Structure 1
Amino acid sequence: MNNHLSLKFTFVILLFWTLNIAKGFSQEKKWSKDSLLTWNDFKGTVDPASGVSAMTYCGVKFRYRYFVSANDSTYTAKFIVYSFFTPERSWSMVERQCPPLLNHEQVHFDISEYFARVLRTALETAQYTKNIKDEIMSIFKKYDSEREKMGLLYDEQTNHGTKVDVQKKWDLFVGKILSNNTPWQQVQNDEIMLKGF
């Protein structure tokens, strides 16, 4: 029997790590260490009832195709995973724009980038069966939940960036895990994730 892998079909899925369901947007900005956010990137309509001075709409997309061996015994997949920022859904109150607030929003984007890397590693190292689509979704849901928890903890501990000393600790923390590609299991044991300030 021919055991060469053959492309059974391509399944493309766009998943958004955001608090709301993303609906047709015209442009996006991919995360890059050489292209930080500026206030010009925040083009959405201000929500005065939100209780915050700015809102960053960012998340992670991935798509994949999977391959099945001729005898249906081996399932493998190739993935493209990246974090994105949507200008039209991100906004800021012009009168409150300042470098510290912009930095706070950038770190939200950085957290998305960290989880894009975590998700990519998890997807690429997993073993798959004939239930590959469900297995991929299970991996996504796991890290989607963890990303949301980190984002909420970040805002809670920094009070949306207004606690300057705590914000600096988060700046260093997120910068470290990005530069080192720190495994998620190790990040979970970090003091900033366990104790707060």
Structure 2
Amino acid sequence: MKGVFVACFLISNILFGQKINWEEGKKLNWSNFKSKVNNQRGDNVVAYTNCGWTYSYVKSSNPKAPVKITIQTIFNENQSWKDVKRINDYVLLHEQKHFDVAEVFARKLRKEVSEKIKNGADFDRYFKTIYNTILKEYQDFQKTYDGETRNGMVEEKQAEYNRIIAEQLENYKNYKTS
């Protein structure tokens, strides 16, 4: 018997919102930020990017059979917000980098999965631990990114993170989706 399971994190109401899959070379624009509600704290928040991953898997009841796992990076338009009076191209770049960071960590997750999970038994034994480890690293990175750049306002730090994120995308290019 085959089962399919889809799980999401950092994304609320995904079934009710529009989503954009991360694609090489495809950039966000301000029209993608459709929420009218700012759920973030602080007056210095100009925009909020709601992004993360979805994953699905298909596995047999035979624990030795191969398992197919698909991991997508998504941007949730209806949960992403902007202050129309304060947005600009620089802020959009900062928000794009949040989406790019989600893709970096999706690639790290794909790498770990491809190296450690070969069949249903491996999936049952390792997937949750791998997922939770990468998720924690992702959340910590996003928090540090916003903290060190002060939500993109520290231009030198933003430039440094732009370079780091580009390097990480390149380092894990073998784990991008086609």
Tell me which of 94, 99, 103 is aligned to 1:104. Answer: 94
Question: What do residues 22-44 of structure 1 show as CA deviations (whole Å, max 9, x unaligned)?
Answer: 45323200111221010010000
Note the C-alpha offset of 1:45.
Answer: 1.6
Residue 145 (1) aligns with residue 136 (2) = yes
Question: What do residues 112-131 of structure 1 show as CA deviations (whole Å, max 9, x unaligned)?
Answer: 00111111111122145647
Partner of 1:180: 171
SS in 2 for 1:161: coil
RMSD, aligned α-carbons: 2.2
User: What amino acid maps onto 2:94 in structure 1?
Assistant: H
Q: Is contact 2:2–2:61 with CA below 8 Å preserved after alignment? A: no
Q: Unaligned regions of 5+ residues in structure 1, if any? A: 1-7, 184-197
Query: Which stretch shows the higher mean deviation, 93-102 or 128-137?
Result: 128-137
Change (3 A) 1:116 1:133: same
Q: Max radius of gyration: which structure?
A: 1
Residue 154 (1) aligns with residue 145 (2) = yes
Tell me which of 53, 61, 80 is aligned to 1:60. Answer: 53
- TM normalised by structure 2 equals 0.86
SS in 1 for 2:85: helix
Question: What do residues 142-197 of structure 1 show as CA deviations (whole Å, max 9, x unaligned)?
Answer: 111010000001001100000001000000110111022179xxxxxxxxxxxxxx
Structure 1 distance, partners of 2:46, 2:65, is: 47
User: What amino acid maps onto 1:58 in structure 2?
Assistant: C
User: Which consecutive segments of 4 or more residues in structure 1 shift more than 6 A?
Assistant: none
Structure 1 distance, partners of 2:93, 2:110, is: 26
Residue 95 (1) aligns with residue 107 (2) = no
Structure 1 distance, partners of 2:131, 2:78, is: 25
Partner of 1:116: 106
Q: Is contact 2:116–2:122 with CA below 8 Å preserved after alignment? A: no
Identity within the alignment, %: 26
- TM normalised by structure 1 equals 0.78
Structure 1 distance, partners of 2:6, 2:125, is: 12
Q: Unaligned regions of 5+ residues in structure 2, if any? A: none
Change (3 A) 1:48 1:137: closer
Tell me which of 135, 150, 165 is aligned to 2:126. Answer: 135
Change (3 A) 1:165 1:95: same
Aligned length: 171
Structure 1 distance, partners of 2:5, 2:158, is: 37
Note the C-alpha offset of 1:105.
Answer: 0.3
Structure 2 distance, partners of 1:98, 1:115, is: 27
Note the C-alpha offset of 1:55.
Answer: 0.4
User: What amino acid maps onto 1:113 in structure 2?
Assistant: E
User: What amino acid maps onto 2:16 in structure 1?
Assistant: F
Partner of 2:73: 83
More helix by share: 2
